[in-house]
Amino acid sequence: MTPRLLLSIVLSLATVSAVGAADALQKQADWHNPEYPAIRQKLIDWLTESDAPAAQMTAVSQLWPEEAPSDTPAELGIRLLETAAIMDADARELAVTTLSASADGELPQFPWLADESKPFPTWMRDNLRFQYGRWLAEQRMLDEAYLQLKETPIAEVADPAALLFHRAVCEHYLLKKEDCVATLGTLLSNQEQIAPRYLAVAKLMLADIQPLETDSLDEIARLMRDVERRLDLGRAGKKVRTQEEDVVAKLDKMIEDLEKQMQQQQQQSQGGQQGGSNTQPSSPLNDTMPAGGSGPGNVDPKKMNPGDNWGNLPPKERQEALQQISNEFPSHYRRVIEEYFRKLAREEDTK
């Protein structure tokens, strides 16, 4: 994972407490790192069955000596990628792509990963799909990455922790809460074999997404973050427009609920005042003296003119409304609400 993406995750979760998140994960490990001899034997069996040319056999043998090196799971995954590159030209292109730091030009496509047109056994293809999915996630192309990672079996890859981590990153960003919690639960079931950089962030992601509620301002902020990511990638199609409309609809509902709550509070306050005293004043108030009412002074939204709405409020009143709503929520959600008002204003301008 690139430092940029890893740092962005850490920063976005920095305020979240991970206390108690691991308590629900005390269970038997659901995965284990494969051993070097087992992977090497799979390769020997495959090459023997495929009757590979002597030159390829020699190259692969040099890459996989009998004496096991002290490789990490990630390094074993790279060995498998390099092995595939020796055996096939398209796999060589995949290796060059996934070992590069960033994408240049159009997104490279490798449709053969999803079929059996290449002479690779299923377990090798799974490892190649993981490498492609990992690279896509590092490029922030999370939808494409998830397509590669969500069905790849952890038992077949050389680096199962990395597969689960990148899958969880996609689910976290794409707001697939239940899937993300399940993936992180599987990942954290074997904490002893997780790279430290994955372990810390995985715990933070779990503590962050577990309390997420549908239609909350937290969810809306995450939806807007995903819209920004897509726009940064130059994507402004139907998916983005749908998400933008979803954000506005959720904020509309939230504001409507807030208005109803304010109405109820006002009605309760007025009812309390009326029931507290039936004494009539002996003389009318002097016009120059203020009345002694103690009501909140809020305007009933239902008494506003039909043409008045949040989108075309004058700047001063819009700022007051924004401030009132913002006070109900943490300050880091202010940008979400501001963007909501800007979108409404743009829609009014186009009418």
pLDDT (0 to 100) of residue 230: 74
Q: Please give the residue range of the domain that contains residue 48.
A: 3-212
Q: Looking at the structure, do residues 119 and 146 belong to the same domain, yes or no?
A: yes
E strands present in 236-298? none
pLDDT (0 to 100) of residue 105: 72
Q: Looking at the structure, do residues 75 and 140 belong to the same domain, yes or no?
A: yes
Looking at the domain assignment, is residue 350 inside a domain? yes
pLDDT (0 to 100) of residue 96: 95
Q: Rounded to 10 degrees, what is the CA torsion of 39, 43, 46, 49?
A: -130
Q: Give the Cα separation of 274 and 280 in Å (integer).
A: 11
Q: Give the Cα separation of 101 and 319 in Å (integer).
A: 44
Q: Is 18 exposed, middle or buried (0-12, 13-18, 19+ CB in 10 A)?
A: middle
pLDDT (0 to 100) of residue 240: 72
CB count, 10 Å around CB of 3?
A: 9
Considering 194, 212, 230, which residue would you say is the last residue of a domain? 212
- Per the CB < 8 A criterion, the answer to whether 72 and 197 are in contact is no
pLDDT (0 to 100) of residue 293: 46
Looking at the domain assignment, is residue 88 inside a domain? yes
Using DSSP, state whether 281 is helix, strand or coil: coil
Using CA atoms, how far residue 118 sits from 50, 90, 98, 300, in Å, is 12, 9, 18, 69
pLDDT (0 to 100) of residue 286: 47
Looking at the domain assignment, is residue 260 inside a domain? yes
Q: Looking at the structure, do residues 222 and 99 belong to the same domain, yes or no?
A: no
Q: Give the Cα separation of 107 and 115 in Å (integer).
A: 19
Q: Looking at the structure, do residues 30 and 163 belong to the same domain, yes or no?
A: yes
Considering 168, 183, 212, which residue would you say is the last residue of a domain? 212
Q: Looking at the structure, do residues 100 and 188 belong to the same domain, yes or no?
A: yes
Q: Looking at the structure, do residues 263 and 184 belong to the same domain, yes or no?
A: no
pLDDT (0 to 100) of residue 168: 97
Q: Which mean pLDDT values do the consecutive 10-residue runs of the chain (351 residues) have?
A: 56 49 59 96 92 91 94 96 95 94 81 89 96 94 94 95 97 94 97 92 93 81 76 73 74 76 80 58 46 46 42 57 55 57 64 61
Q: Looking at the structure, do residues 144 and 225 belong to the same domain, yes or no?
A: no
Looking at the domain assignment, is residue 26 inside a domain? yes
Looking at the domain assignment, is residue 29 inside a domain? yes
Q: Give the Cα separation of 271 and 47 in Å (integer).
A: 85
Q: Looking at the structure, do residues 262 and 164 belong to the same domain, yes or no?
A: no
CB count, 10 Å around CB of 267?
A: 11
Size (the chain), residues: 351
Return the structure tokens found at 334: 């202010």
Q: Looking at the structure, do residues 173 and 26 belong to the same domain, yes or no?
A: yes
Instruction: Please tell me the total count of domains within the chain.
Output: 2
